Amino acid sequence: MKSDFPSSDKYSAERARYPAMTVVDIRAEHAGITDAYRNQVLFDINKECMRLAVFEGEYRWHHHPDSDELFLVVAGELQIEFENAPRVTLTEWQGMVIPAGTVHRTRAMGRTVNLTYERQGAQTVFVEAPV
């Protein structure tokens, strides 16, 4: 699955799938995704964006030096591992903010759907796994 991940440039350059004033059925959006990994910007909000992430397995270790990142799990279970903090598990309708610069990776426990909120064009820096 790792080959399916976008480059950091492609991830940062993505713009909203829907313009302002558009009603979007997020449940229908994620139900229609059959890929093992999909992370797309649904909305641009001021200088931030809201993403819909649907995936299985684990994402790469990374950090966002210029943006906090809010995770809100809407289906499934999401583990978030950190370089310098204990692992956290979020279940449906739980969320947390990862501060800018915090090295982390996400791991879906089965198929997981989450909404993320971060700065539009947030830089993503991929790093080696912590020891």
Model confidence over 93-124: pLDDT tens digits? 999 999 999 999 999 999 999 999 999 999 99
Question: Hey, which CATH number is domain 2-126, 1.20.1250.20, 3.40.50.300, 1.10.3720.10, 2.60.120.10?
Answer: 2.60.120.10
54: left (phi over 0), alpha (psi -120 to 50) or beta: beta
pTM recorded for the entire structure: 0.89
58 by DSSP, 3-state: which? strand
Query: What tens digit of pLDDT does each residue of 4-46 get?
Result: 677 878 878 888 999 999 999 999 999 999 999 999 999 999 9
Cβ neighbours of 46 (radius 10 Å): 7
Closest among 111, 115, 76 to 95, alpha carbons compared: 115
